[in-house]
Amino acid sequence: MTSTQAVSFDTFQLAAATADLSDEPPARAYADIVEFRLDLAHADASLPDPLTAITAYDHTSSLPLLVTNRPKWEGGAYGGDTTDRLEMLTAAAAHDAVVAVDIELKTLQTQYGQTVARNLRDDGISIIASTHDFTETPPQSVLHQRLHTAAEVGDVGKLAVTAQTHRDALRVLAATEQASQWGDTVATMAMGKPGRHTRVVAPMYGSRIGYAPVDPTDATAPGQYAIKPLSEMIDTLTQTE
């Protein structure tokens, strides 16, 4: 089912990251889309089943959705096998509110992952090909290679690494700028305190998606700002450009 809410990643999109779709109303003033973490919702017994929640979601008056079902081996919470995980993701993507799905680069490089991505694209869904490093920031050449590969495999290539120093953060921004010069559509960020500011300034270098929780206590990655201050800081930078 093709989404009725087209979103273009040719321009920056700020995503409110959450496992609870009841966070959507307070996010509307600041976010462009909602990243719905199926894996976190599935793992939290206090939350509705993610497919039930997405079925009840009102796509006519709410923000469009980017759905993610992150496995444990990529920093997520889903512990089932790949087939079950992608079947849940595909079922969620059938909802009219969904405009994009996030699938790990490693998964997209498998035959099954390629088939799932092709079927989703046939239904008008954009693919975010993501890669994460929760330990370090790789050398510059590796950053360029990973980001370019992800952008070739997906409609957006997403790279999230962990900065130990401000120099690490600079490498991420340089890789972002280079990817944009190549014509790649990318989303980048450096996790951790030394890289936190990249979430604010990366859009100035060509990053097309930012992520933030509505409530900072619900952060889905290290170093995230809450949605309101991140939106305001990015708007301030954009207005003074």
Residue 37, marked binder: yes
Is 57:41 a contact under the CB 8 Å cutoff? no
| β pairing state of 65-68 and 33-37 | parallel
Nearest to 138 by CA among 110, 168, 112, 115: 168
Residue 228 annotated among the catalytic residues of the structure: no
Q: Which of 132, 144, 193, 228 is catalytic?
A: 132
Q: Is 35 within any annotated ligand binding site? A: yes
Q: Which of 158, 166, 197, 228 is catalytic?
A: 158
Check whether 60 is labelled as a binding-site residue: no
Please check whether residue 128 is in contact with residue 154, taking contact to mean a CB–CB distance below 8 angstroms. yes
Query: Is 12 one of the annotated binding-site residues?
Result: no
Active site residue 193: no
Q: Is 220 annotated as a binding residue?
A: yes
Return d(Cα 234, Cα 184) in angstroms, integer: 21
Tell whether 104 is in a known binding site: no
The answer to the question of whether 121 is labelled as a binding residue is no
Q: Amino acid identity of 72? A: K
Phi, psi of 149 (to 5 degrees): -65, -45
Q: Annotated binding site for 3-dehydroquinate, which residues? A: 35-37, 70, 199, 220, 224
Q: Annotated binding site, which residues? A: 35-37, 70, 199, 220, 224
Active site residues: 132, 158
